[in-house]
Amino acid sequence: MKPIQVGLLGAGVVGTGTFVVLQRNQEEIRRRAGREIRISHIADLDTERASALAAGAAEVTADARSVIARPEIDVVVELIGGTGVARSLVLEAIAAGKHVVTANKALLAIHGTEIFAAAREKGVVVAFEAAVAGGIPIIKALREGLTANRIEWIAGIINGTTNFILSEMRARGIDFAQALAEAQRLGYAEADPSFDIEGIDAAHKATLVSAIAFGVPVQFAKAYVEGITQLQSADIAYAEQLGYRIKLLAITKRRDAIEGRSAGAIELRVHPTLVPAKRLIANVEGAMNAVLVQGDAVGTTLYYGKGAGAEPTASAVIADLVDLARLATADPDHRVPHLAFQPAAMQDLSVLPIDEVVTSFYLRLQVADVAGVLARLTGILAEHGISIDAMLQRPAEIGAHEGAARTDVIILTHDTVEGRMTKAMAAMQALPTVLARIVRIRKEDLG
């Protein structure tokens, strides 16, 4: 059987890893795929770098469109990134009848509905295992391994940069700025780390995961996104004392029978989260990724591994290429759907606004250490129907406020509607004895 001919667009970190791993494990991959998979053409603006990588084994050009146009190319691997040129190239490849493999989560989170529709129209596949959690095969697990399950919720650490920063803050007791600088020094964070630390990268991935889990269109614009830039070392330390770890989690949940939504809704949110320290996911440290999936039949499953890097991500890219080699003769109507559900069976579930999400909370209030403060705070929570799970008061610090010292009060609540908590916080913040902005971090048990 003739080899699968691949056009590689982008010879950066992941592109290089893909070429190297494919060359190194060529025989093993051929035996698994049933035919050879060969990168025959590479397009990269840095042709000198691409030529050094190819070493004569592939033709190199700076013109990506010329690679797409070549009739012998069966699959286009897009590893350029971004949502501009990459979108145009992917749509051109689809229009030319080429299968596409991509690691571009931003592209699919924003333009996935358009791209998957175009692929269905042309009868080709868009494979994207590498777009979420690097080398962890979470897409395949959701689309195929858990296909018998009604997925209830997914919670994941799917950005290694932020997990490294939070791990450093906890282990070394340093602040966010110091931990970020260390991440940049070691190459875990970019010079401009905004996409990572603001939660955007994780939200792109969560958007794809939610679509596959619940059979809904990708809808990144409706995700609630909150990063880690405002986290303080004090809160990480307090969480530890209370038996929790703080992680940036991407969470998507199914919510049934919500008032005013006959079809239910889904939650789609990324934010710092308190997780009980006894949970496995709370002990995922450094730049590693982990994803928890709750299915009605299988229960809770955990997927753990490297979420980025040249060869871990290349592993996922090549797995998609092997799938395409196996599917080359399959009828388009009998392939695994891009988003797991048949296109005509997708649901029109709305994304729940954050104010309607139900969760529990960690609150830290800096207050004047005077009589009646705690009673007033707990009274406000009670007035808004919010019950307290635990409370911690730190020893008073010197710093007079009308003759009184300051102290930190930490409150853990039971589950409540977010909008209710927002109103309670506004009432507490207005008290003259509350001396600083109240810190609010959501809490999930994940049991």
- Return the pLDDT at 447: 74
Cβ proximity of 113 and 217 under 8 Å: yes
Give catalytic residue positions: 205
Low-confidence stretches of the chain (pLDDT < 70) are 257-263, 328-335, 339-340, 396-404
At 367 the pLDDT is: 95
Cα 14 to chain centroid, rounded = 18
As a whole number of angstroms, the distance between CA 14 and CA 233 comes to 34
Q: Which domains, from first to last, does the chain contain?
A: 4-127 (3.40.50.720), 139-306 (3.30.360.10), 357-443 (3.30.70.260)
Q: Are 308 and 131 in contact (CB under 8 A)?
A: no
Q: Can you tell me whether residue 243 is helix, strand or coil?
A: coil
* Whole-angstrom distance, CA of residue 447 vs CA of residue 443: 12
β-strands 404-413, 388-393 pairing? antiparallel
Beta bridge mates, 442 = 273, 361
How confident is the model at residue 400, as a pLDDT? 47
The DSSP bridge partners found for residue 129 are none
pLDDT tens readout for residues 19-35: 999 999 999 999 999 89
CB 312 within 8 A of CB 305: yes
Burial pattern 33-65, b for ≥16 Cβ within 10 A else e, equals: bebbbbbbbbbbeebebbbebbeeebbbbeebe
Report pLDDT digits (tens) over 269-299.
999 999 999 999 999 999 999 999 999 999 9
What is the number of H-type helices and E-type strands within the chain? 15, 19
At 260 the pLDDT is: 57
CB pairs under 8 A, 24+ apart, for 168-173? 169/231, 169/233, 169/236, 170/236, 170/240, 170/245, 170/246, 171/285, 173/233, 173/237
Closest CA to 206 of 250, 162, 249, 248: 250
| Structural contact between residues 378 and 363, judged by C-beta atoms closer than 8 angstroms | no
